[in-house]
Amino acid sequence: MTDKVLLTKVDNIGIVTLNSPPVNALSQEIRQGLLDAFSKAESDDSLKVIILMGADRTFSAGADIGEFGKSSLEPVLPMVCQTIESTSKPVIAAITGVALGGGFELAMASHYRIATNSTKVGLPEVHLGLIPGAGGTQRLPRIVGPKLSLEMITSGKPIKAKKALAEGLIDQVIEDTDSLKEEAIAFAHTLIKENQGPRRSSERKEHIEKQGNDKEIFINFKNSLQKTARGLYSPFKAVDAIKTAFTLPFDEGIKKERDIFLECMNSAQSKGLVHAFFSERKCTKFPEAMNENGPARDLSTLGVVGGGTMGSGITVAALDAGIKVTMIERDQESIEKGKHNVTKVYKRHIEKGRMTEEQVNKVLEKYKPSTDFDDLKDVDMVIEAVFEELEVKQEVFKTLDKIVKPGAVMASNTSYLNIDKIAAVTSRPEDVLGLHFFSPANIMKLLEIVIPTKVKADVVNTGLTLAKKMRKVPVRAGNCDGFIGNRILSKYGKVVAYMMEDGASPYEIDKAIFKFGLPMGIFQMFDLAGLDIGWANRKRQAATRDPRERYVHILDLLCEKGHYGQKTGRGFYIYQEGSRRGEEDPEVLTLIDEERKRKGITTRSFSEEEIMNRYIAAMVNESCNVLHEGMASRPSDIDITLLYGYGFPRYRGGPMKYADQVGLPKILDDIKKYYEEDSFFWNPSPLLVELVEKGQTFESLNK
């Protein structure tokens, strides 16, 4: 027997312990060890009850991620669960920490369940495009009925021990984690004393008999999923699997579950979601931060220059992370607005019941609004979040250079500007970093960490430390105009403008993008962000714009009318007072028609397929250029950027993963076809050409 599964005895009770900390992942070695341990315990006549528990304060977080994407290794988990459930002696799952996925399926295959108060249990497989595959869709409904089963399995959200107890999913909750083993032994002695045998989930019929013919539950639930799980595959398949628990005998339901599980596992969506899962872990590996002699600098105090939307969002994110924040604004009126922006977030938390007034007051004790730059002299890091103009930011950094202590990290929250030009106005460019937060900064998880030429490794590590404290997903970005995300956006933003000018309405384009799986169309997104932001950027770039580039004036014309989007009530859409849902604007269509006539454009129609083919081709081609120039470390970092910052559907894995699935030759063929129309814009990336010639994929570059 492996040392990763231990079988010990306490009197006439066998204790099987998963001994593979920190999460007791259910690797092939663990699964085999469980079979061996239960076989040995079953054949030992001196044992009357078996307790299953995890070492190191965790029961099991589920599958071993090292086995994802590989062929199933024997013994498979359904076999292990069946062995546990078939045991002739009562089996108690003693749960602490988490029991998730396959770990929770082990617990449900056990006959009784006790847990510590802090325990969470759940079946998160849908997050990987899967359904539970070891009996979860068959045992859970037999224990708690259809409603909770549907909610837990299709959302993937865990529930706390107290709720599990109330629902009959757990038999006893223990307040003291340290006494779990003793309480489990006491529970075992009670079973022996009362002559209680196994209570198999597969044989429980009370919920099956009560709700077996109620088909409306499943129909109504699927209807509700159309909103909450739009575009997803596995939640709907999970409903089908759960339904079989009420229509088929257990053994047949298990077979059906396995068929559906394998269907999901082989789907493009599951492959996309698994890719996103691993990409999220890979993106924290920065080549500049690999220097072992460059640990992170101290980071307990933060300065934020600017109290607008970005500055206040960064401040809230830092306060939520337990960091002391000094916010600086240029005058009293501005700092009062900044203070209002911060406190209104916490007032909303109180109104929504997320925090108490006492908790908010404790957080705000760490917040100091000020108009005096000298108040930043002792902070460990300062983040500038002022207006997006190079000269303005350079003036701020000249001031910071004179004030902040030696060794403090100075960072700019810029969306486009050259960090080297900002660092150059200081006497310590090695301490300057780019930190591109996404708005609202206290909610959006993406953080582009921009690497300027002279930055030190420990400064990069400090940026990563900040991301970790704020629970952000960090992506390394090279120092170029727009970095990764906005640089790519500028390209597919242009292609939708070209299609709009050539005959597709902005509303047709938005509908195609929404149907593809993004949360909103690109013109809706422009309205949300503010059309004036892009306008300012286009004006900044006007002097260096190549005369060969096609330029669409429609967005500028809207801005000249003062139609900046949601904040002015009009952009591409009309927004009624207090509404964020826009209505199509006939005046916009008239303006577009007039501009087409002025340019003498012969319009044509675009199908949804062609809209998306051009949209994706522009996105992928520029992504290749970003990679080719070393502005992104790997294709999966681009996927993470577009997933977390720009709403690309997670189940597609990101644009690079999606391109691999579509086929890079197909993408390149499309670009070559469009090249005949516009050889300047549709110039194929050298990297894309090289990969197609070598028969390689983007995945081959993910290291």
Residue of higher predicted confidence among 580 and 633: 633
65 & 130 share domain: yes
Residue reference for tokens 């029991």: 99
- Whether 90 is covered by a domain: the verdict is yes
Six-digit token string for 397:
């950094």
- Whether 271 is covered by a domain: the verdict is no
The helix/strand/coil state of 294 is coil
Least confident of 174-183, 206-215, 609-618: 206-215
CA angle 295, 312, 532 (to 5 degrees): 110
* pLDDT on residue 347: 95
Residue 159 backbone phi and psi in degrees, to 5: -120, 155
Residue 648 backbone phi and psi in degrees, to 5: -60, 135
- Over the chain, what is the mean pLDDT? 95
* pLDDT on residue 517: 96
Q: Render 145-199 in DSSP notation, one character per residue.
A: -HHHHHHHHHH---EEHHHHHHTTS-SEEES-GGGHHHHHHHHHHHHHHTT----
* pLDDT on residue 621: 98
Domain stop point among 465, 482, 499: 482
* pLDDT on residue 56: 84
564 burial via Cβ count (<10 Å: 0-12, 13-18, 19+): buried
- Whether residue 47 is predicted with pLDDT greater than 80 in this model: the reply is yes
Q: 173: pLDDT confidence band, cut at 50, 70 and 90?
A: very high
Domain stop point among 467, 482, 497: 482
175 & 312 share domain: no
679 burial via Cβ count (<10 Å: 0-12, 13-18, 19+): exposed
- Whether 439 is covered by a domain: the verdict is yes
420 & 400 share domain: yes
Residue 7 backbone phi and psi in degrees, to 5: -115, 115
Q: What does the pLDDT look like over 479-497, one tens digit per residue? A: 999 999 999 999 999 999 9
DSSP state of 371: S
* pLDDT on residue 259: 97
Residue 374, domain extent: 297-482
Q: What does the pLDDT look like over 296-349, one tens digit per residue? A: 999 999 999 999 999 999 999 999 999 999 999 999 999 999 999 999 999 999
The helix/strand/coil state of 31 is helix
167 & 110 share domain: yes
517 & 470 share domain: no
Q: How many domains does the chain divide into? A: 3
134 & 105 share domain: yes
At 103, which CATH number? 3.90.226.10
Six-digit token string for 195:
């002559």
* pLDDT on residue 294: 64
CA angle 439, 636, 131 (to 5 degrees): 90
601 & 458 share domain: no
478 & 559 share domain: no
**Please, where are the H alpha helices in 195-331?**
206-211, 216-228, 234-244, 250-265, 268-282, 309-320
- Whether residue 457 is predicted with pLDDT greater than 60 in this model: the reply is yes
Asked if residues 319 and 364 have their Cβ atoms less than 8 Å apart, the reply is yes
Quote the CA–CA distance of 591 and 465 in Å, as a whole number: 49
Q: What percent of the chain has pLDDT over 90?
A: 89
At 502, which CATH number? 1.10.1040.50
Q: Which is the catalytic residue, given 85, 105, 280, 622?
A: 105
Quote the CA–CA distance of 419 and 668 in Å, as a whole number: 33
Q: 291: pLDDT confidence band, cut at 50, 70 and 90?
A: low
- Whether residue 69 is predicted with pLDDT greater than 80 in this model: the reply is no
490 & 473 share domain: no
β-strand pairing of 5-10 with 49-54: unpaired
Judge if the upstream peptide bond of residue 141 is cis by omega within 30 degrees of 0.
Answer: no
Q: Which is the catalytic residue, given 85, 125, 257, 448?
A: 125
Q: 580: pLDDT confidence band, cut at 50, 70 and 90?
A: confident
452 & 505 share domain: no
* pLDDT on residue 290: 66
- Whether 285 is covered by a domain: the verdict is no
Which among 17, 35, 1, 4 has a CA at the least distance from the CA of 184?
17
Which among 169, 121, 176 has a CA at the least distance from the CA of 142?
169
β-strand pairing of 324-328 with 5-10: unpaired
Asked if residues 632 and 638 have their Cβ atoms less than 8 Å apart, the reply is yes
* pLDDT on residue 406: 97
Residue 105 a catalytic site member: yes
- Whether 272 is covered by a domain: the verdict is no
Domain stop point among 430, 454, 482: 482
Q: Each residue of 647-673: b (16+ CB within 10 Å) or e? A: ebbbbbbbbbbbbbebebeebbebbee
Quote the CA–CA distance of 401 and 394 in Å, as a whole number: 10
- Whether 278 is covered by a domain: the verdict is no
**Please, where are the H alpha helices in 11-56?**
28-43
Asked if residues 105 and 31 have their Cβ atoms less than 8 Å apart, the reply is no
- Whether 123 is covered by a domain: the verdict is yes
| Residues facing 10 on adjacent strands | 13
Quote the CA–CA distance of 55 and 6 in Å, as a whole number: 10
Mean pLDDT along residues 676-703: 97
- Taking the whole predicted model, whether its pTM rises above 0.75 is answered as yes
Quote the CA–CA distance of 173 and 642 in Å, as a whole number: 42
Mean pLDDT along residues 378-392: 95
At 302, which CATH number? 3.40.50.720
- Whether residue 358 is predicted with pLDDT greater than 80 in this model: the reply is yes
Asked if residues 534 and 552 have their Cβ atoms less than 8 Å apart, the reply is no
Residue 53 backbone phi and psi in degrees, to 5: -145, 170
570 & 463 share domain: no
Quote the CA–CA distance of 209 and 355 in Å, as a whole number: 42
431 & 392 share domain: yes
Q: Each residue of 177-210: b (16+ CB within 10 Å) or e? A: eeebbebbbebbeebeeeeeebebbbebeebbee
Quote the CA–CA distance of 259 and 241 in Å, as a whole number: 9
- Whether 472 is covered by a domain: the verdict is yes
- Whether residue 681 is predicted with pLDDT greater than 60 in this model: the reply is yes
Q: 207: pLDDT confidence band, cut at 50, 70 and 90?
A: confident
- Whether residue 292 is predicted with pLDDT greater than 60 in this model: the reply is no
Mean pLDDT along residues 269-293: 88
- Whether residue 79 is predicted with pLDDT greater than 70 in this model: the reply is yes
Quote the CA–CA distance of 446 and 642 in Å, as a whole number: 9
Residue 391 a catalytic site member: no
DSSP state of 698: S
